[in-house]
């Protein structure tokens, strides 16, 4: 069979068609590359933002370092007051303590406590946190414990170098700060008049964002002294 021969004008037409197809392919590739670059940039920004938020969420938060109870009648009484020592997680964000929520349960009672600015003290050098802790720091007869009920917690400032917790209306905890959350256990667990012996208590101190502080202890089988180390 003889091969088909093309005229010069036919060869030129075929060359133009191929050129058009080639240009179209290049344009499509360019548009696809532009869209891909834009998408990668958007995803990179989203990943960076998500990573930043995740880091803040993981690093931030509050930790419970100690819990102490108090009974006015050693041996025979129940625990009437709780002092929950807290501090921020290392490297975390500042914490607005007015937004803290304290959750406590003994299996029978579940309490959700919010901050009461009237039960506040920032003297930083109290000899007895369970005693006559005055709300105006002047040592008068009005104790901040008297301002609490079964739905609230108070605040005693322990360490605050930059005075970020100096205001009872807007205390902010940051790196290096330490504070005590005070709870009237006799009001929270009013059905039993406080916490008796061998009672398991769980809960958490939950900040506005970040990891919560864990509360978990069992009261001892005897209260030989007025102040009892719980956690």
In the chain, how many domains are there? 2
The pLDDT score that the predictor gives to residue 90 is: 78
The pLDDT score that the predictor gives to residue 7 is: 56
Question: In the block, which residue shows the tokens 């080639």?
Answer: 22
pTM to 2 decimal places: 0.74
Cβ 130 vs Cβ 225: under 8 Å: no
List the strands of the sheet with 62-70, edge to edge. 213-218, 200-206, 101-105, 110-121, 152-159, 178-184, 81-88, 62-70, 227-229
Q: 15 and 116 share a domain?
A: no
Distance (Å, rounded) from C-alpha 25 to C-alpha 44?
28
Select from 29, 59, 89 the last residue of a domain: 59
Q: 110 and 191 share a domain?
A: yes
Q: 212 and 117 share a domain?
A: yes
The pLDDT score that the predictor gives to residue 56 is: 61
Distance (Å, rounded) from C-alpha 114 to C-alpha 99?
8
pLDDT profile of the chain (231 residues), mean per 10: 54 67 82 82 72 62 94 90 93 88 95 94 83 64 82 94 91 93 94 92 93 94 93 91
């Amino acid at each position: 069979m003889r091969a088909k021969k093309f005229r010069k004008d036919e060869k030129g037409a075929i060359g133009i068609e191929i050129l058009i197809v080639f240009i179209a392919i290049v344009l499509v590739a360019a548009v696809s590359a532009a869209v891909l670059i834009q998408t990668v940039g958007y995803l990179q920004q989203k990943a960076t933002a998500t990573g930043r938020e995740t880091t803040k969420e993981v690093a931030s938060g509050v930790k419970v370092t100690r819990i102490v109870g108090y009974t006015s009648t050693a041996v025979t009484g129940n625990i009437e007051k709780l002092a929950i020592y807290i501090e921020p997680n290392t490297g975390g964000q500042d914490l607005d303590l007015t937004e803290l929520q304290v959750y406590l349960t003994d299996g029978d009672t579940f309490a959700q406590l919010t901050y009461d600015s009237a039960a506040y003290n920032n003297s930083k050098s109290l000899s007895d946190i369970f005693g006559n802790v005055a709300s105006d720091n002047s040592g008068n007869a009005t104790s901040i414990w008297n301002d609490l009920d079964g739905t609230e917690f108070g605040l005693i400032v322990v360490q605050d170098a930059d005075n970020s917790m100096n205001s009872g209306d807007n205390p902010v905890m940051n790196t290096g700060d330490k504070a005590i959350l005070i709870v009237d256990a006799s009001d929270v667990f009013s059905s039993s008049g406080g916490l008796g012996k061998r009672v398991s208590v769980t809960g958490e101190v939950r900040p506005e964002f970040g990891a919560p502080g864990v509360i978990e202890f069992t009261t001892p089988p005897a209260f030989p002294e007025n102040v009892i180390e719980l956690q």
